[in-house]
Amino acid sequence: MSASRARWAGSGRRSEHLTQASAAPFCVRTPPSASASSRSATRRERLVEIRDNLVARITEAEQQGWLGEIEGLQVSLTGAEAKIRQIDDSSPVPGTVHLGLPTTRKS
Protein backbone atom coordinates (compact mmCIF):
# COMPACT_ATOMS: atom_id res chain seq x y z
CA MET A 1 0.00 0.00 0.00
CA SER A 2 1.43 3.37 -0.97
CA ALA A 3 1.97 6.08 1.62
CA SER A 4 -0.84 8.21 0.20
CA ARG A 5 -3.28 5.28 0.33
CA ALA A 6 -2.15 4.34 3.83
CA ARG A 7 -2.83 7.87 5.01
CA TRP A 8 -6.48 7.60 3.93
CA ALA A 9 -7.00 3.92 4.73
CA GLY A 10 -8.05 4.42 8.34
CA SER A 11 -10.51 7.24 7.71
CA GLY A 12 -12.69 5.44 5.16
CA ARG A 13 -12.54 8.63 3.09
CA ARG A 14 -12.17 8.16 -0.66
CA SER A 15 -10.43 11.07 -2.34
CA GLU A 16 -10.98 11.90 -6.01
CA HIS A 17 -7.30 12.77 -6.22
CA LEU A 18 -6.25 9.32 -5.08
CA THR A 19 -8.55 7.68 -7.62
CA GLN A 20 -7.19 9.76 -10.48
CA ALA A 21 -3.58 9.49 -9.33
CA SER A 22 -3.74 5.71 -9.11
CA ALA A 23 -5.18 5.50 -12.64
CA ALA A 24 -2.34 7.57 -14.14
CA PRO A 25 0.51 5.36 -15.39
CA PHE A 26 3.20 7.96 -14.68
CA CYS A 27 3.87 11.16 -12.80
CA VAL A 28 3.31 14.46 -14.57
CA ARG A 29 6.33 16.03 -12.86
CA THR A 30 8.97 13.44 -13.85
CA PRO A 31 10.99 13.73 -17.07
CA PRO A 32 10.06 11.33 -19.87
CA SER A 33 12.35 8.34 -20.25
CA ALA A 34 14.04 7.47 -23.52
CA SER A 35 11.35 5.19 -24.92
CA ALA A 36 9.89 4.12 -28.23
CA SER A 37 7.92 6.74 -30.13
CA SER A 38 4.73 4.67 -29.82
CA ARG A 39 4.96 4.85 -26.03
CA SER A 40 5.60 8.59 -26.30
CA ALA A 41 2.47 8.95 -28.42
CA THR A 42 0.46 7.03 -25.81
CA ARG A 43 1.93 9.15 -23.02
CA ARG A 44 1.18 12.33 -24.95
CA GLU A 45 -2.46 11.28 -25.46
CA ARG A 46 -2.78 10.57 -21.74
CA LEU A 47 -1.18 13.91 -20.85
CA VAL A 48 -3.59 15.74 -23.15
CA GLU A 49 -6.48 14.02 -21.32
CA ILE A 50 -4.97 15.04 -17.98
CA ARG A 51 -4.49 18.62 -19.20
CA ASP A 52 -8.08 18.85 -20.45
CA ASN A 53 -9.36 17.47 -17.15
CA LEU A 54 -7.27 19.99 -15.21
CA VAL A 55 -8.65 22.87 -17.29
CA ALA A 56 -12.21 21.69 -16.56
CA ARG A 57 -11.43 21.34 -12.84
CA ILE A 58 -9.89 24.83 -12.73
CA THR A 59 -13.03 26.25 -14.34
CA GLU A 60 -15.20 24.46 -11.77
CA ALA A 61 -13.00 25.64 -8.90
CA GLU A 62 -13.23 29.25 -10.16
CA GLN A 63 -17.04 29.00 -10.32
CA GLN A 64 -17.17 27.57 -6.79
CA GLY A 65 -14.64 30.04 -5.39
CA TRP A 66 -12.15 27.37 -4.28
CA LEU A 67 -9.04 29.57 -4.38
CA GLY A 68 -6.64 27.07 -2.78
CA GLU A 69 -7.77 24.36 -5.18
CA ILE A 70 -7.19 26.66 -8.16
CA GLU A 71 -3.58 27.27 -7.18
CA GLY A 72 -2.79 23.56 -6.84
CA LEU A 73 -4.51 22.70 -10.11
CA GLN A 74 -2.62 25.44 -11.95
CA VAL A 75 0.69 23.99 -10.73
CA SER A 76 -0.33 20.58 -12.07
CA LEU A 77 -1.53 22.14 -15.35
CA THR A 78 1.82 23.88 -15.81
CA GLY A 79 3.60 20.56 -15.24
CA ALA A 80 1.36 18.71 -17.72
CA GLU A 81 1.88 21.36 -20.40
CA ALA A 82 5.65 21.28 -19.85
CA LYS A 83 5.65 17.49 -20.18
CA ILE A 84 3.66 17.69 -23.44
CA ARG A 85 6.23 20.18 -24.80
CA GLN A 86 9.07 17.84 -23.76
CA ILE A 87 7.48 14.95 -25.61
CA ASP A 88 6.84 17.13 -28.67
CA ASP A 89 10.43 18.41 -28.65
CA SER A 90 11.92 14.94 -28.30
CA SER A 91 9.79 13.25 -30.97
CA PRO A 92 11.42 12.84 -34.38
CA VAL A 93 10.39 15.37 -36.98
CA PRO A 94 9.34 13.76 -40.26
CA GLY A 95 11.33 14.98 -43.23
CA THR A 96 14.48 14.51 -45.21
CA VAL A 97 17.55 13.15 -43.47
CA HIS A 98 20.90 14.13 -44.95
CA LEU A 99 23.16 11.08 -44.94
CA GLY A 100 26.10 12.68 -46.72
CA LEU A 101 27.83 11.62 -49.94
CA PRO A 102 29.25 8.13 -50.33
CA THR A 103 33.02 7.92 -50.63
CA THR A 104 35.36 5.27 -51.90
CA ARG A 105 38.06 3.83 -49.71
CA LYS A 106 41.67 4.17 -50.76
CA SER A 107 43.62 0.98 -50.23
Q: What is the pLDDT of residue 9?
A: 46
Q: What is the pLDDT of residue 14?
A: 40
The count of residues in the chain is 107
Q: What is the pLDDT of residue 24?
A: 45
Q: What is the pLDDT of residue 30?
A: 54
For 48-78, b where at least 16 C-beta lie within 10 A, e where not — what string? eebbeebeebbeebeeeeeeeebeebeebbe
Q: What is the pLDDT of residue 85?
A: 92
Q: What is the pLDDT of residue 70?
A: 94
Could you tell me the mean pLDDT of each successive run of 10 residues in the chain, 107 residues long? 45 42 50 59 92 97 93 95 90 71 81
Q: What is the pLDDT of residue 51?
A: 97
